[in-house]
Amino acid sequence: MIRLQDQAIVVDLPHVTLSGLEEYGVEILAHEIGHHVLAPATLTDHARCLAKMRRALPTMEDQAPMVANLYTDLLINDRLQRSAGLRMDEIYRLLGKRPAGAPPPGVVWTLYLRIYELLWSLPRGSLGGGPTTDALEGDAWLGMRLVRSYASDWLAAAGKFASLLLPHLVEDQQAAEEFAALHDTRSAGAGGIPHGLTDASADDGDISHPSLDPRITGIDPEDDPSANEGDGHDPLPRKVLNSGGGQQRQPFEYAEILRAAGWPGSEQDAAIAYYRELAMSHLVRYPRRPAPESTEPLPEGLEPWDIGDPLDECDWFQSVLQSPHTVPGLTTVRRVYGTSPGTEPRREPIDLDLYVDSSGSMPNPALHISYPALAGAIIVISALRAGARVHATLWSGKHQFQSTPGFIRDETAILRVLTSHYGGGTQFPLHVLRETYAARRPDERPVHVLSISDDGVTTMFEDRDERDRIGWEICARALDKGRGGGTLALNLSPDWETGTRSFYQNLVSTLTRARDEQAWQIHAVPTLDGLVAFARAFSRQKFGPYTTARPT
């Protein structure tokens, strides 16, 4: 097996002995090294190869890891056999031997060995595969041509190779078992996360059957429609096979590709990686507010330096001035520093108190892209980069919520909260907001309160907590003790103030009062994807300017 994250190679020596391959150590190790330097070479290319193959294997997506392994093995072994002069054919002769009474090889194994025979100009059946039909012989020829034609651009043809194997995988139920011992890239993705996997457009490309590729056949099927007749199966039309892609990959598909690559993380771990990657292209520098003047180091004198003190703290110049004979602890000294007020203000970010709606009107971040979760990730990571601390709360009802343990700087812990899901009724957990500011001291950093929701935000003001305190009072106290202002980012029509329906009258009345009486900043976005633009503007405009004014 190989592992791309740390370039590991593991060889099963008992299995080598059992297969009679003791004399082929160079070939075996050269093959494993080939996975690191040729195909897939990198974790990103490994994941992209799997993504392309999954598109080309409808109903057989779970076989993509095995198919990818067969494809990269063909590329590596052909290079080693022809260019390096290694004995790869002898290895497959030994692997192809079957004990007496064993069932005949499956069609995929037969096709795979026949491709090697054609690549290396060997007689049919010399590597131990089963008998081949004319159709199977034609597919083996296409596989050979594909390996040779795309040897220097192997990733572009990954989907084509999967399309070639698809009908045989449907027919052959024992393929996965036959190739299990050779599946050395099964855990190749363990320990790492590939970059760029959220963008499905990176996996666009032709995944049609190789018989439709003029680069492989030398014949353009559009000029000669009869070129594919008699190949034993009907390839899907080119337009169908080339469709798909060009959109943002959904979180559930992202997680499936990671698992196919051998990544052992959970579904939520995959969701955290997904939203972290999406957020990276939107990050801006988080705002920082001026605090009292910073301090600068001020030399105050000398004190003895002994042998147990850090070497870089010894002032050798002053030590030699005191005595030309250096005796640690007696003649060696170090400089002592104090502090003095600086001339530049010390910049300090404000903290963030984030509340994200996870009621039934919001999508599950682990299954489909959730723009509230993405907006939260953009703002949170920007805040942490600027040195701020974040308190994040995901909520649906007053008993359906989870929060970080206070204001923290653990990015993964915060994203774990944001990527969870409830999907219940809507009722803001007022007791969480109340307790967050119950013991907050006046000398602590200012906090900005941000709530991402929809029309269910009215429960934040109109409901009562378990102590029968109304939300208006709790919100007012939170803003007063937070001293950093508050923002409501809501999935509403931009003209929410002019709503005429009775439902809107209550919403308009609540939001207008929150804005006018408590100075909440209200940002309405008509569609959830508009929250991404809000998140960028929130970080850049709302908190970005460097100002000495205290927020009201």
Q: DSSP secondary structure string, 22-64?
A: GGGHHHHHHHHHHHHHTSS-SHHHHHHHHHHHHHH-TT-GGGH
Q: What is the DSSP letter of 334?
A: E
> Distance between CA atoms of 288 and 445, rounded to whole angstroms?
11
Find out whether 490 and 453 touch, Cβ atoms under 8 Å.
Answer: yes
pLDDT at position 505 is 83
Q: Tell which residue, 143, 125, 123, has the closest CA to residue 135.
A: 143
pLDDT at position 318 is 87
Per the structure block, which two tokens stand in for 324?
């030309």
pLDDT at position 441 is 93
Per-domain residue ranges for the chain? 2-260, 293-346, 349-542
pLDDT at position 238 is 43
pLDDT at position 369 is 96
Q: Tell which residue, 203, 245, 253, 260, has the closest CA to residue 69.
A: 260
Radius of gyration of the chain (CA): 32
> Distance between CA atoms of 393 and 357, rounded to whole angstroms?
9
> Across-strand partners of 486?
449
Amino acid identity at 368: H
> Across-strand partners of 389?
none
pTM here is: 0.83
pLDDT at position 285 is 61
- Average pLDDT per 10 consecutive residues for the chain, totaling 552 residues: 94 91 96 97 95 95 97 98 96 87 90 97 93 95 97 95 96 90 93 92 84 90 56 45 60 96 95 96 65 65 86 87 86 81 67 96 96 96 88 96 96 97 96 96 94 95 95 97 96 82 78 96 95 91 50 38
Find out whether 272 and 415 touch, Cβ atoms under 8 Å.
Answer: yes
pLDDT at position 100 is 78
Cα torsion 127, 133, 136, 140 to 10°: value is 40
Q: Give the other-Cβ count within 10 Å of 125's Cβ.
A: 15
> Distance between CA atoms of 550 and 279, rounded to whole angstroms?
29
Cα torsion 504, 505, 508, 511 to 10°: value is -100
Q: What is the CATH number of domain 349-542?
A: 3.40.50.410
Q: Tell which residue, 26, 8, 533, has the closest CA to residue 282.
A: 533
